[in-house]
Every structure is written in structure tokens, then in C-alpha cells.
Amino acid sequence: MTNLFSDLSTEVPEELIEVLAEGQHVRIERIVSTGQASPADFWYDQVQAEFVVVLKGEAKLLLEGEDAPIHMRPGDHVTIPAHRRHRVEWTTPDEPTVWLVVFFGE
């Protein structure tokens, strides 16, 4: 057994991505952000759908075509269809933001 809230170092420059479980059509990751955001004009465009929940910290997720980002706080979850372009506008610099992400074929 491991814990989603363990090993939350804040002294790393990059986001930490850890694969927690994986099947042929699914990948479950923990991502820890410490103030990072997507680069300017960068959009994720993924072949799989993505279920994403923030479990600690705060983030702003922008879906292409929306006027404003979704402000996500602990427990908030969104399912992003495959090829729905999106970007992380902001994660709080005040504490680590812990995301649980499930990528899956539709």
C-alpha cells in the first residue's frame, strides 16, 4: 500500500509524474505540481480521454474555446474527452498540488 500524499517534496523544478497502475487501455498517474503551468500557447491534445481530480492544492484548467479556466480545489474532478485541447493555466505556489489522473480509451 502506498499513499497519494507521501513524498511531496517542494524543492523540485519539474512536475513529478508517477504511474500508479496500468493496463492495456488505462494508465493511472499521480502528478505533483509545485507552481508549474503549461508553457505559453501549449495545449495538450491526447488520444485518450482523461479523468482528472485535484486532491490537494489548487489548479486552473483551461479547455480550449472556454472563456475562463476551471478553478479546481480538492475533490473537484473533470473528464476531458480524447483530443479536447486543454492546458494548465496555474497551480498554486503555496503548497504541492496533487492530481490523480486516469487516461483511458473511450
The piece of 10-18, 39-47, 85-93, 97-105 that touches a copy of itself (CB under 8 A) is 97-105
Cα angle 20, 51, 71; round to 5? 115
Q: In whole angstroms, what is the distance from residue 72 CA to residue 62 CA?
A: 11
Phi first, then psi: what are they for 55, rounded to 5°? -110, -15
Smallest distance from a copy of itself to CB 93, Å:
22
* Residue 12 grid coordinates: 523540485
Q: Shortest Cβ distance from residue 82 to a copy of itself (Å)?
A: 10
3-state secondary structure at position 58: coil
Rounded least distance, CB 102 to a copy of itself, Å: 6
Q: Could you list the residues that contact a copy of itself (CB under 8 A)?
A: 1-6, 20-21, 23-26, 28, 49, 51, 53, 55, 70, 72-79, 100, 102, 104-106
